Amino acid sequence: MKLYLHAFDLPLAHAFTITHESRTVQPTLIAELCDPDGKAGYGEATTTTYYGVYRDDLIKRLEGIRQIIEETPLTTPEQYWEDLRPHLHDMPFAQCMIDQAANDLWARRLGQRLGQLWRPPIGRALPPTSYTIGMADIPTMIAKMQERPWPIYKIKLGTDHDLDIVRALREHTQAVFRVDANTAWTAEQTVALAPALRELGVEFIEQPLKPADREGQAYVYAHCALPVIADESCHAEADVARCAGLFHGVNIKLMKCGGLTPARRMIAEANRLGLKTMVGCMTESSVGISAIAQLTPWLDYVDMDGALLLAKDPAKGVVIDTAGQAHYPDAPGTGVTLTGF
């Protein structure tokens, strides 16, 4: 195989603000793994200062092990992930993009869509994706929502007037709400807000507390009027078991855990422990979103709106309709085509 790296600065349609940061451009890196016969698989890793991930560091690491990446046999994506693990265990974003590309290429070699090769459950409806409304002043948040009518909104919170925000948004839609505090609340605040949020049609709360506050999270789990989903508390495979008894579900991010291969194991572990499952995104292009979409038959919730938040997308792949449902290209692998800007 040959490895090619493609760097893009993804322009966002609107400034995207959460409690950790605000941005109008999302740097990303796309890996392309190519066979001699021209078949290619694609994977993606965006960068984030919050997690200390920078594109130059990703490129440096991957260039440093280029020969290993190119010469390691791709017999199965799972074995390929294990073979590269010693070289990428401390850089899951990099392993994620290579793992996505390996899964894509493997399925293209077999001439089938990736998710179909995993034998999805029969008759289970695919969960629609939420659409994220980033933090802003209330009129701007309302305008963002009205610009994109959607069945489920994920609302970023973490202000001193969060309840006012949700009340104001509710006046303009009957959509399901999910709220994400991105660790900005206290346990007492979460429990106090939950009954009013439930009355306003909020389905669940995502990561209200800082990950280290396990005592506070235990209090929330025991007293909260709404289910609570882990995000910052669930990075890697070992974290799933740690979330049992503290959260009602886990939000798995492919870049944080190292790709599709560990994410599938995390979903299985969550199911075994009775936890709800969700996969979220990191404002990827259609490359990363098309990889996430392969997992939807196994999920309770999904947040894969990253490409919808972009002003321009350097790839084509899975298309999401106005009902939040994914439509898969009639193509093998994840169905991605890299087009550039």
Q: Does the CA dihedral 226-189-178-27 come out positive or negative?
A: negative
The answer to whether the predicted template modeling score (pTM) of the entire model surpasses 0.75 is: yes
User: Domain spanning 117-338: which superfamily?
Assistant: Enolase-like C-terminal domain (3.20.20.120)
Q: What is the mean pLDDT of the chain?
A: 96
According to the model, what pLDDT value does residue 45 have? 97
Query: What is the C-alpha radius of gyration for the chain, rounded to an integer number of angstroms?
Result: 19
Per-residue pLDDT of 103-161, as tens digits, reads 999 999 999 999 999 999 998 899 999 999 999 999 999 999 999 999 999 999 999 99
Secondary element (H or E) of residue 167: helix 162-170
As annotated, the residues of the chain forming the CATH 3.30.390.10 domain(s) are 2-112
Residue 19 in this model has a pLDDT that exceeds 70: no
Per-residue pLDDT of 302-333, as tens digits, reads 999 999 999 999 999 999 999 999 999 999 99
CB 255 within 8 A of CB 96: yes
- Tell me what percent of the residues of the chain surpass a pLDDT of 70: 99
pLDDT category at 18 given cuts 50, 70, 90 is confident
According to the model, what pLDDT value does residue 146 have? 96
pLDDT category at 23 given cuts 50, 70, 90 is confident
Topology classification of domain 2-112:
Enolase-like; domain 1 (3.30.390)
CB 328 within 8 A of CB 156: no
Determine the average pLDDT of the residues in 4-17: 93
Per-residue pLDDT of 158-198, as tens digits, reads 999 999 999 999 999 999 999 999 999 999 999 999 999 99
CB 252 within 8 A of CB 277: yes
As annotated, the residues of the chain forming the CATH 3.20.20.120 domain(s) are 117-338
According to the model, what pLDDT value does residue 202 have? 98
Distance separating alpha carbons of residues 104 and 328, to the nearest angstrom: 14
Closest CA relative to residue 300, chosen from 330, 275, 263 = 275
